[in-house]
Amino acid sequence: MSFALTGRGSRFWTEGVVVVNQKAFGRNSGFTLIEIMIVVAILTIAVALAVPEFLRWNVQSQLRQATSEIATQLMLARMAAMNRNRSVDVTVQTTGGAVHISAVAPSSGAPIIKDKVFDTRVASVVGSPVTVSFSSLGLRTTGGTGTQTIGVCDTYQRQYSVVIIPSGKVQWSVNSSGTACP
């Protein structure tokens, strides 16, 4: 039987088979506790820095969704007024710390669209309660001759707005209504 040493004593030949010296590799395999603790500390710091921004982004996303939903509900109420040939009143208000939208026929008080309550992170409506009335022709009959603006605010005091022009057209935008959030 012959033994040939090949490189630092970690391998040697035994009858054509490579045998690995377990002592040479035993100390170098895996991670030490210190290395794992450093990685965990770095990940903890990264998550601690990212979570607040993620929460702000999430609230902003819900504000955008709520503003879009309010605009959609106003458009549905306008279409319902034209289809039913009667006026419709839509009220957007802050109730119990949440934004609430409802639409009723003023003559009978019957609901026209299903009431909607938004997430509590969508905190308030500027000038709550705000009522928008649509005639049977789909024209806006409240708010004077100019545009009527509904400001919707989140818990970080960011504001998006819904604009209704006298002809009844509804749009929402990321611009504020010009009035600070309550």
pLDDT confidence band for 28 (50 / 70 / 90): low
pLDDT in tens, 84-127: 999 999 999 998 888 999 999 988 889 988 999 998 889 899 98
| Cα gap 148→163, rounded to integer Å | 6
pLDDT confidence band for 145 (50 / 70 / 90): confident
pLDDT in tens, 154-170: 999 899 999 999 999 99
- Residue 18: predicted pLDDT: 57
Residue 78, C-beta contacts closer than 8 angstroms, at least 6 positions apart: 88, 134, 138, 168, 170
pTM over 0.85: no
Q: Are 87 and 134 in contact (CB under 8 A)?
A: yes
pLDDT confidence band for 182 (50 / 70 / 90): confident
| Strand, helix or coil for residue 77 | helix
| Strand, helix or coil for residue 19 | strand
- Cβ-based neighbour number of residue 45 at 10 Å: 10
Fold of 51-173: minor pseudopilin epsh fold (3.55.40)
- Residue 54: predicted pLDDT: 93
